[in-house]
Amino acid sequence: MLGSRTPARSPGRRPARGSTRRSARSRLAGALAALPLAIPLAAAVGSAQAAGDLAPRAHAQSPLDQLGPLAGQLGPLAGQLGPLADQLRDLDPAGELGPYVTEALNGINGPIGAPGPPAAVDAPVTCRPTPARPRPVILVHGTFDNGANTLPRLGEPLRRQGFCVVAPTLGAYADNPARGGLDSIVAAAGPQLAGVIDHVRAVTGAPQVDLVGYSQGAAIAGYTTKVLRPGAVANVVSVGGYWGADNSGLIPHQLPREIAGLGLWAANLRGLAELSPGSPMITAWYGLDRTPFLPGVGYTLIATRGDHLLPPERSFVPGPGVRWVVTEDACGGGPNSHGGMVVDGRTHALVAGALGGAGGC
């Protein structure tokens, strides 16, 4: 456990190389299991960057080596990060865990570094609206995802009902364009989505579009609809989405001790950092009327009790005319995970119904 000391070694003896690697990999497995909890430190680093106290990083090197220097720059967390670095070095005196963590994370999600240009990726408009389906549908993916993955999961069921569907990749970094939802919503993903909306309207001649956002994509869709393109969006459908509520639990306020090393790699998740309650992005989104919703837009928020990241009580935010749909109540059952929502037929039916298609479960 963290905080415990590594047993003293006998003078002149070193553990066998194979056993050292197995031990490091065993510790890595436990660390990776805590990866979803790395978000709090990402939020802290993002806030520090926004305040100008911490320059954005390029590629992570050794997370353990960076904890100490960062400790003096992260305000309220400064008193925690230094001891955390010491505890992790006690756990990993040979210095092997940091590179393993970074290599594994980069292998899973690709290295992340400099932000990409403000243009969406792979969003061809090859369809046209019809009298029965007058508005194009733009899919907005979640963190680490992209349009190519989202189109077959959420888009094809809509296409089969005659919808014109477009699936861009938003918020990707230049050196890893296949992984979206990482860069800033305010500076990257939001303006990129606004550009896609403009392009789709120009190509199709449709006066308005509909947006379907999954997970973080719901926040990108909601922010863009209200702040960047008011009047251009008719309906927003949220699938397991985040709407900036203080009680969402997506960004815990306490830094879990177990994920200090991983959090530094996550520091480049600028889009997630902006979802911290009270961030400039949330403040701009909610505005003076203190709501994420824009009057005149139809909002449908879909959630499932099987989603332990954003279940209904964390995903739903009240608003005039906002429709809440719990899959278990509407369909007699639902997906059993956050990721399962985008591949579940019941979710597909509810999304189609919210957009005016056949919506029976």
Domain shared by 47 and 91, yes or no: yes
Query: Is 309 inside a domain boundary?
Result: yes
Domain C-terminal end among 91, 109, 127? 109
In 3D, which of 35, 103, 55, 97 has the Cα closest to residue 263?
35
* Domain CATH code at residue 161: 3.40.50.1820
237-275: b or e for each residue (b if 16 or more CB lie within 10 Å)? bbbbbbbbbeebebbeeebebbbbbbbbbbbbbbbbbbb
On whether both 103 and 171 belong to a single domain, the answer is no
Cβ burial of 282 (10 Å; 0-12, 13-18, 19+) is buried
What are 238's two structure tokens? 């949220």
The whole domain housing 341 covers: 137-243+292-354
pLDDT digit string, tens, across residues 219-254: 999 999 999 999 999 999 999 999 987 655 454 433
Decide: residue 112, CB within 10 A, 0-12 exposed, 13-18 middle, 19+ buried. buried
The predicted model scores a pTM of 0.69
141 with 222, same domain: the answer is yes
Q: How far apart are the first and last CA of the chain?
A: 46
Q: What is the pLDDT of residues 284-334, one digit of tens each?
A: 999 989 999 999 999 999 999 999 888 999 899 999 989 999 999 999 999
- Asked if residue 253 is part of any domain, the answer here is no
* SS3 assignment, position 334: coil
- Given a contact cutoff of 8 angstroms between Cβ atoms, the answer to whether 209 and 137 are in contact is yes
